Amino acid sequence: MRHLWALPVLLPFAIASPHQFSVQDDLVAFPQYEVLISDNPVTEDFADSVLGARSQSATDLDPSDGTSAVRGQDIAGYESMILSGQEYLCMLPRIPVDESRNVSKKSVEDENKELARATKRGWELLRGMEGNCLYFYSGWWSYSFCYNQGVRQFHQLTPGRNVPVYPPVEDKSVDSYILGSFQKSNSDSKDLSNEKGVARMETKGETRYLVQKLSGGTVCDLTGKERKIEVQFHCQPNFADRITLIKETTTCQYLMVISTPRLCNDIAFLPPQESKPHSIACSPVMDADSIPSFNAAREQHLADEDTATAEIEVLMDGLEVKTKTLVIGDIKIGGHQMVPRGKKIEQSAIVKSGFKETLIATIAKSDGYVASDKELEKLNIRNSKEIRDVKEEVERLANGKGWKLEVVDTPRGRELRGIVDEKEPTVLKDDPLKEGTKEEL
């Protein structure tokens, strides 16, 4: 069935339909229609009968002679259309009246009152999150939002023995950061107007959401100011409370988006409904004697298309299709010149917060130093055999040069890194630092 867009100015029978206002809308383009060209013909007698009986209820008329025009719809009327020399009978849908368009526009004062009501109601709905924390994983960093407390950024321990997957357990050996905290006045009053940083409602397009800006975070090393975060609460029905986005918008200033079904309990925060066009079904008009041959030709055409598609699939099977490559600068897009085939580029963390690699410890050196089992256990390293194998491999690669084995924290996680000196080591005779025993793992 083909689709055509119909211009509303050509439809004198059009009346208003439900639609939510948007600044991008064409005010004279509603109601909207789409024209559906049907492959099912109607007879000339039926077309003449409905076009000649416009005063009669259109729903009382049925197509005759076994044709398959649309039945049972609430039809407002019929119109004739000529397209490429072919006559069509078009069934016009009955559009319900949108009473909301006849309501006078609200005053600015009334709109402000409605915004204040919705904001207060939204804030009350969010109070149901009190006592709960939400978590978000983003590579090296994890984030927690605890209602009426604040937002934290921390590194989680790897789940394993005595370490649950959820909620994430903070690694105390890595610095954590407070991105923002809830602040309240000293008054014990529960009046929302006395609460600092209270969420306010904002509008973007047709979407309304609550915004809360939290300050009082950990002082940023780069700016010397406290970290700040803007937390947005969006209505999302049929899902539990969850953090859907966290990112650093500018240095040490962040944005967090929380989707929650709680706000959906107020109509002001519901997502806009999609406005679908009304369908006008048009069927070709033919002589009753021509319809059987038309249907037979249509079926043959569909069969021929299926056969041609099957033949093309057979020809394409195993055939490498060459596509035109795109070159930007000196880089061939999709040419795998820089990234080998099969290698996947790891996705970086959304928020890095100026993160750099951190040396945790040196567990072995070419001078004979080897960390004890107790020291390795503090680093959460329990596989001494694996460490021994890595140490022997680094020592072999060093081939007499100085070397060391380090534990390093990176954005990808904790790594074991072997480093070989480029220069030959200079050993002083009778060096007291070279004396001692070598502890084996």
- Give the three-class secondary structure for 278: strand
- Residue extents of the structural domains in the chain: 2-101+275-301, 108-269, 358-434
At 241 the pLDDT is 87
CB within 8 A of 411, min separation 6: which ones?
Answer: 139, 140, 348, 349, 352, 355, 357
Task: Look up residue 350 and give its DSSP letter.
Answer: S
pLDDT in tens, the chain (441 residues): 444 444 333 333 333 334 444 444 555 566 678 888 888 899 988 888 888 865 454 444 444 443 344 444 578 888 899 988 899 999 888 877 655 555 555 667 777 777 788 888 888 888 888 888 899 988 888 999 998 888 999 998 888 778 787 888 888 888 899 998 887 654 444 444 444 456 677 877 777 888 988 888 999 888 889 999 999 998 888 888 889 899 988 999 999 999 888 888 887 787 776 667 788 899 999 988 888 888 888 888 888 888 888 878 777 765 655 556 677 766 777 767 667 776 666 555 444 444 567 788 888 888 888 888 888 877 777 777 778 888 888 888 888 888 888 888 776 677 788 888 865 544 444 443 334 434 433
Q: Which residues of 37-72 are buried (b: 16+ CB within 10 A; e: fewer)?
A: bbebbbbbebbeebeeeeeeebeebebeeebebbee
pLDDT at 229: 92
* Ranges of H-type helices in 75-163: 108-126
Task: State the number of CA atoms in the 13 A half-sphere of 160 facing the CB.
Answer: 6
Residue 3's φ and ψ, nearest 5 degrees, are -120, 135
Give the C-alpha separation, 119 to 116, whole Å. Answer: 5
Residues 6+ apart with CB under 8 A from 42: 63, 67, 69, 89, 283, 284, 285, 286
Phi, psi of 415 (to 5 degrees): -125, 150
Q: 108-269: which CATH number, 2.40.10.10, 2.30.110.10, 3.40.50.300, 2.70.130.10?
A: 2.70.130.10
**Paired residues of 5 in beta bridges:** 34
Predicted confidence at residue 255, as pLDDT, reads 92
Whether residue 370 contacts residue 440, with contact meaning beta carbons closer than 8 Å, is answered with yes
In angstroms, the CA 412 to CA 348 distance is 8
Distances from the Cα of 277 to the Cα of 19, 30, 274, angstroms: 10, 9, 10
Backbone angles phi, psi at 168, to 5 degrees: -65, 140
Q: How far apart are CA 391 and CA 363, in angstroms?
A: 9
Is the distance from CB of 214 to CB of 179 less than 8 angstroms?
Answer: yes
Tell me, what's the pLDDT at 143? 92
Q: What are phi and psi of 287, to 5 degrees?
A: -70, 145
Residue 380, both tokens: 């959460």
- For 233, other C-beta atoms within 10 Å of its C-beta total 25
Residue 223 near residue 199 (C-beta atoms within 8 A):
no
